[in-house]
Chain A
Amino acid sequence: MAETTAAPHPSPLEGLREWIAEIGIPRVLIAAFLLLLFAIAVATHMDVASLLTDSLLRVGRNGLIVLALLPAVQGGVGLNFGLPLGILCGIVGCIVALNGAVTGFTGLLLSCAVATALAVPVGWGYGWLLNRTRGQEMMVGTYLGFATVSAMSIFWLVAPFHNPTLVWAIGGHGLRTTLTLSGVFDKVLDRLWSFQVLGVRIPTGTLLVFALAGLVVSLFFRTRAGITISAARSNPRFARAAGISDERTRIQATIFSTVLAAIGIVVFSQSYGFLQLYTAPLLMAFPAVACLLIGGASVQRATLTHVVIGTFLFQSILTVALPVTSQVIQGDISETARLIIQNGMILYALTRRGDR
């Protein structure tokens, strides 16, 4: 056989090269960048513990939204740039709870329930549309998201919510752009069983919810329905020969993704403390997609590990970059760095489409 045999003793350099190839150059670079930032933070005597606290908070806050991308990739509809659809469902869920002044865990659960009830039909319709626009899922998702966010901006103005804490103070019509959750369910998960280690505060509840959702997703992909969805992604013609309709599995995957995004924004908002309406959800899919890709996922394949690693790397950089860079140089480059990393990552992943 004409197979190339590996050298018996690979040199250390080759070993390193293989290791990098295994992990992926972008991940190595970004992890190195993050380490560098932390090193500068330590060298300049910054409060590293509070940086880590912030990092963990952001991981928990954004984790579910990144996780929402996973079923879509597994189901073969690619990176779900239509996340704002699910996010809008979640926001409506929160507003229902706010409007009725349902507070605490009850409020959180009510928000999630309403969000899910809305996200299922929305996800179905979105999946139906994606089946009709095969091969352009990412483009269609992006523009459907944009269009829906704009349409919902009108809805916020005319929505039948009358709780005075929600509507504009003057005129009494239309929801405010930012609604505070303090006194409603602000940080209920962040504070749940929260404790401190070496000055780092752990947002236990939020992280647990992220872990639990990750467990549910990975278990789902071990059920018959889940296996069917991945098989249809992997080879639609194979699936058809086994009696699987890949149109149906794609819709299921899209619904799952939309529901996770809806619950994700509820968890995000309780941790953030505010609910942002109007154009805020417009670009929310992009950082989430960047997280997943930095974690090592591709357009065709993603795992829970990719979600966790990616969310940690990307969100930590965002947290650490601002204070560290303002320490070292005048001015703020963190937003610039975020845009370069986020969009650069998405570009990079798209150029590697079909690799494997």
Chain B
Amino acid sequence: MTAPVLELRSISKEYYGNRVLKGVSLAVRPGTVHALVGENGAGKSTLMNLLFGMPVIRDTGGYQGEVVLDGRTVRFAAPEDAMAAGIGMVHQEFMLIPGFAVAENIKLNREPTRPNPLSRVAGRKLETIDRQRVGADARAALDRVGLSVEEWTLVAGLPVGHMQFVEIAREVDKQNLRLLIFDEPTAVLTEGEATQLLDVMKSLTSQGLGILFITHRLDEVLAVADDITVLRDGEVVAQLDPKTTTVVRIAELMVGRPAAVHVAGAADDRSSAPLVLEVEHLAVDMPGEEIQDVSLSLRKGEILGLAGLAGHGKIGIANGIMGLYPARGTLRKDGRPLPLNDPRAAIRAGLAFVSEDRRGVGILPDESIELNIALTAIEAQGRFLHPAPLEALRLLDGRAVRGHALEMIRALDIRCKGPAQHVRRLSGGNQQKVCLARAITLEPDTLLVSEPTRGIDVGAKERVIDILRGLNRDRGMTLLVTSSELAELRAICDRIAIVYRGRIAAVLPSDDSDARFGLAMAGEKLDG
């Protein structure tokens, strides 16, 4: 067996006490495609940043373990070092200069040059660019990736798919290239382009390159990979041979079976309970999580889960209902139509939302805990204000805000120095509790919660799940829970809807089999 191009030996990495990689080992053999699969948050991006020498890794305390490239242990301080050592990367978002031609982008900073009188005096930096050779090299690289576009057209007008291929051509053009990393390259491609890309990958490996292919499209993995590594919660849970495995098996491993499947008790029969929320033909334009056409309904007191792989749109549903991203379709709350694209109307109709983007949408990081909790209620419902003859003259009732915050801190067990502490200083789990407290403060009858336990430690996870259960049980709140952790959904939901490519692929009871969940997530038709 040939020596691997790249070998990772028990790589571990933590961010602020949160271990995101736990002893990851894998090897990429020359001339093969090694697929790395895992859900968002499994640690794939961290691993890539680490491999590529991104400063964020060093700035947060470096990593443990060894990266071995061609038999030599390496530790890159900057992306340039990684490139010099022969690692190429095709990024998820394009790193191309729109105003430059395709050829110029491909050869940028590596242009073949000719000496001129000035450069003889002032050094090599001033040599003339040999445009003919730039064009010829670019043409050769474009041909290798099968892109027929003319090399002197500007990048600016190219279709997205072509830009992806230009990126690959740029990497391929590098003479010392040993290992090429594809970071979810097919996310933006049409099916035809994706197929073409897979062909390109195969032809590149036949020239001796090693490829590390990161994706969560499982059919592609089986089509192209020679080895498969499954990552979950920062650990390698399996290394598989694509010849002997199935999409279902990989899906199961990615999603993960909890130690003891702890499924919510037989769901109460709610078929006679009134409909609280009805969603019909919802389409949401949320970049990266688009929803094409979703219809679903929630009955009073029910907990409905939304599952699916990242990028398929599960996140978009709650955001669309709450009016945070442009949406079309019809919504009815308690039988009355609810306007779309109007967050305040949604809040006033008794809906509350805990966003998946805690830092971006969920909190005011530089404001106090108490204000964070009260703010939406102040704004949308005019609460926590002193009475005054004129609405505009009503001042904040600091005592009421403080009292309410103290109550919430106790009820939800928010670990903090006090209600005046800034939310930025709290841990992820406690920030999440503040978000929940804010939503509960609105006294909603229906709560939409997205990724309630993402990025928080185990103890806090259980606490958050308990809080959600309690809201449902004690206050009769209807819940729509969106999560990437299927195990967690199965532990609290009555039913789980699986979202695939912007549509509901199936609605399954929580105690259905792992295999059927895995299949639905992979977009396979379920019979029966």
Contact = CB atoms under 8 A, between A and B. Distances in A.
Contacts of A352: none
B396 A238 contact: no
A101 B355 CA distance: 61
Contacts of A224: 378-379, 382, 385, 391-392, 394
A325 interface: no
A162 interface: no
Contact of A231 (B324, B379, B385): B379
A238 B343 contact: no
B366 A242 contact: no
Contacts of A238: 361-364
B379 A243 contact: yes
Interface of A is mostly: helix
B462 interface: no
A222 B364 contact: no
Contacts of B324: 240-241
B375 A223 contact: no
Interface in B387-419: 391-396
Contact of B375 (A1, A2, A227): A227
A243 B347 contact: yes
A241 B342 CA distance: 9
Contacts of B342: 243
Nearest to B377: A242
Residue of A227, A228, A234, A238 with highest tally of chain B CB at under 10 A: A238
Nearest to A239: B379
Given A234-B364, A235-B363, A235-B364, A240 B343 contact: yes
A223 B396 contact: yes
Contact of A243 (B17, B343, B366): B343
Nearest to B355: A241
Residue of A223, A240, A244 with highest tally of chain B CB at under 10 A: A223
Interface in A1-20: 1-2
Interface residues of B, number: 34
Interface in A184-243: 219, 222-225, 227-228, 230-231, 234-235, 237-238, 240-243
B295 interface: no
Contacts of A231: 364, 367, 375, 379
Interface residues of A, number: 22
Contact of A356 (B355, B366, B375): B366
A1 B382 contact: no
Contacts of B17: 1-2
Interface in B438-473: none
Interface in B316-363: 322, 324, 342-347, 353, 355, 357, 360-363
A243 B380 contact: yes
A234 B367 contact: yes
A223 B371 CA distance: 13
A243 B361 CA distance: 12
B362 A227 contact: no
Given A234-B364, A241-B324, A241-B343, A227 B355 contact: no
B41 interface: no
Nearest to B366: A234
B4 interface: no
B361 A237 contact: yes
Contacts of B23: none
Contacts of A301: 366
A56 B367 CA distance: 34
A211 to B, nearest CB: 18
Given A2-B17, A235-B364, A241-B322, A225 B392 contact: yes
Interface in A236-293: 237-238, 240-244
Interface in A98-154: none
Nearest to B347: A243
B392 A242 contact: no
Contact of B392 (A223, A230, A234, A356): A223
B414 to A, nearest CB: 17
A228 B382 CA distance: 11
Contacts of B195: none
B344 A243 contact: yes
B256 interface: no
B365 interface: yes
A242 B375 contact: yes
Residue of A2, A231, A234, A242 with highest tally of chain B CB at under 10 A: A242
Contacts of B365: 234-235
Contacts of A1: 17
A223 B385 CA distance: 8
B376 interface: yes
A227 B378 contact: yes
Contact of A241 (B353, B378, B395, B396): B353
A241 B354 CA distance: 10
Nearest to A3: B17
Contacts of A235: 360-361, 363-365
A227 B371 CA distance: 9
Contacts of B371: 227
Contacts of B396: 222-223, 227
A228 B364 contact: no
B343 A242 contact: yes
Given A228-B379, A235-B360, A238-B364, 6 more contacts: A222-B396, A223-B395, A227-B378, A227-B379, A241-B343, A241-B361
4 tightest Cβ-Cβ pairs between the two chains A and B: A243-B344, A243-B343, A222-B396, A242-B376
22 contacts: A1-B17, A222-B395, A222-B396, A224-B382, A231-B364, A231-B375, A234-B367, A235-B361, A235-B365, A237-B357, A240-B324, A241-B322, A241-B343, A242-B347, A242-B375, A242-B379, A242-B380, A243-B345, A243-B379, A244-B379, A301-B366, A356-B366
Interface of B: 17, 322, 324, 342-347, 353, 355, 357, 360-367, 371, 375-376, 378-380, 382, 385, 391-396
